[in-house]
Amino acid sequence: MKKKFALFAAVVALAFLVACGGGGPANPGTGASGFTNGTFKGSYVFTMNGECVSCSTVAPMHSVGVMVADGNGNITSGSWDVNIGGADQTTSITGTYSVTTDGKASVTLNETGLGATDSFVLMLNGTGGGYIVSADSTWALSGVVELRAAVPTTTPTGKYVFRASGLDSSNNAQGIVGEMDLNAGTLVADMNNNGTITSVGTATVASSSYDSTMGRGVLTVTSTSSLPSMSFAYYVVDAGIMEIVSADPSNGMQGRVEPTGGVVASGNVLLGSFAFMASGYPVTGNIQVNEAGILTGDGAGNITSGSLDTIFDTSNILGAALTGTGSVSTAGGVTRDVLTLAAAGSTISMTQANVWLSSAGRGFFLTTTSDRAETGTVNLQTGAPFTDGGTFDFYVSGWVIGTGVQGLNSASLFKNSSGTVSGYSQELNIGGTPGFGTGTGTLSFDSTGTIGSLTLNNSPLGGASTYRIYQYSSANGFIMETDGGIIAAGEMSAQTAQ
pLDDT, tens digit (0-9, with 9 covering 90-100), for 366-405: 999 999 999 999 999 998 888 777 899 999 999 988 756 7
Rounded mean pLDDT of 327-343?
98
Q: What is the pLDDT of residue 2?
A: 44
Q: What are phi and psi of 111, to 5 degrees?
A: -100, 95
Q: What is the pLDDT of residue 1?
A: 40
Is this structure's pTM higher than 0.75?
yes
Rounded mean pLDDT of 462-490?
92
- Cα–Cα dist 206/218, whole Å: 8
Of the candidates 438, 437, 444, the residue with the CA atom closest to the CA atom of residue 417: 444
Q: What is the pLDDT of residue 225?
A: 85
Q: What is the pLDDT of residue 282?
A: 94
Q: What is the pLDDT of residue 320?
A: 96
Q: Where are the domains of the chain?
A: 26-148, 159-259, 269-380, 392-494
For residue 146, list its beta bridge partners. 45, 129
Rounded mean pLDDT of 209-221?
97
- Cα–Cα dist 350/278, whole Å: 10
Cα dihedral 382, 322, 466, 137, rounded to 10, equals 90
What's the CATH number for 392-494?
Answer: 2.40.128
Asked whether residue 15 carries a pLDDT value surpassing 60, the answer given is no
Q: SS3 sequence, the chain?
A: CCCCCECCCHHHHHHHHHHHCCCCCCCHHHCCCCCCHHHCEEEEEEEEEEEECCCCCCEEEEEEEEEEEECCCEEEEEEEEEEECCEEEEEEEEEEEEECCCCEEEEEEEEHHHCEEEEEEEEEEECCEEEEEECCCCEEEEEEEEEECCCCCCCCCCEEEEEEEEEECCCCEEEEEEEEECCCCEEEEEEEECCEEEEEEEEEEEEEEEECCCCEEEEEEEECCCCCCEEEEEEECCCCCEEEEECCCCEEEEEEEEECCCCCCCCCEEEEEEEEEEEEEECCCCCCEEEEEEEEEEEECCEEEEEEEEEECCEEEEEEEEEEEEEEEEECCEEEEEEEEEECCCCCCCCEEEEEEEECCEEEEEECCCCEEEEEEEEECCCCCCCCCCEEEEEEEEEEECCCEEEEEEEEEEEEECCEEEEEEEEEEECCEEEEEEEEEEEEECCCCCEEEEEECCCCCCCCEEEEEEECCCCEEEEEECCCCEEEEEEEEECCCC
Of the candidates 407, 374, 408, the residue with the CA atom closest to the CA atom of residue 285: 374
Q: What is the pLDDT of residue 9?
A: 31
CB 207 within 8 A of CB 231: no
Q: Name the average pLDDT for the chain.
A: 90
Q: How far is CA 161 from CA 242, 363, 403, in A?
A: 11, 8, 40
Q: What is the pLDDT of residue 29?
A: 56
Secondary-structure class of domain 26-148 per CATH: mainly beta
Confidence of residue 351 (pLDDT cuts 50, 70, 90): very high
Q: What is the pLDDT of residue 16?
A: 36
Q: Is 226 exposed, middle or buried (0-12, 13-18, 19+ CB in 10 A)?
A: middle
pLDDT, tens digit (0-9, with 9 covering 90-100), for 416-435: 888 899 889 999 999 999 98
Rounded mean pLDDT of 281-308?
94
Q: How many CB atoms lie within 10 A of CB 329?
A: 11
Rounded mean pLDDT of 455-484?
90
Asked whether residue 459 carries a pLDDT value surpassing 80, the answer given is no
Confidence of residue 31 (pLDDT cuts 50, 70, 90): low
Q: How many CB atoms lie within 10 A of CB 442?
A: 15
Q: What is the pLDDT of residue 197?
A: 97
Secondary-structure class of domain 269-380 per CATH: mainly beta
Asked whether residue 6 carries a pLDDT value surpassing 50, the answer given is no
> Which residue has better confidence, 20 or 129?
129
pLDDT, tens digit (0-9, with 9 covering 90-100), for 160-207: 999 999 998 888 999 999 999 999 999 999 999 999 999 999 999 999
